[in-house]
Amino acid sequence: MSWINVGEVFYVVRRAHGEDAAAETIRDLRTVVAAALPSPELVLDAARIKADHRLSYADAFAAATAIANDAVLLTGDPELLTEEGRWRWEDVRSGP
């Protein structure tokens, strides 16, 4: 997971539930995912994805990070749930 997307999780939770909940969420998240600072290559890969697809720049980082790590992107974001991208995804909204 990119730190760009960790920041996105933080601000979404903070807006909805406050600072303490956001800090706790990030603390918990860090125990189950590896967060990486984006390299210059990842920044440009995300920019290419953003140029080619209708999605936010943060979503482009999520997709680029998944591709770079040959990982499945776990998301419920409709912009990322597309067959048009090079990233693999799993819709977390559908449940087990």
CA atoms within 13 A on the CB side of 69: 18
pTM: 0.85
| Count, residues in the chain | 96
Convert the pLDDT of each residue in 6-59 to its tens digit. Answer: 999 999 999 999 999 999 999 999 999 999 999 999 999 999 999 999 999 999
The whole-number pLDDT of residue 94 equals 72
CA–CA separation, 90 and 69 (whole Å): 15
Residue 88: predicted pLDDT: 96
- In this structure, the number of other CB atoms found within 10 A of the CB of residue 49 comes to 21
* pLDDT tens, position by position, 59-85: 999 999 999 999 999 999 999 999 999
pLDDT band at 95 (very low <50, low <70, confident <90, very high): low
What the block records as the tokens of 40 is 């210059």
Q: What is the helix (H) or strand (E) element at residue 89, kind and residue range? A: strand 88-91
pLDDT number for residue 50: 97
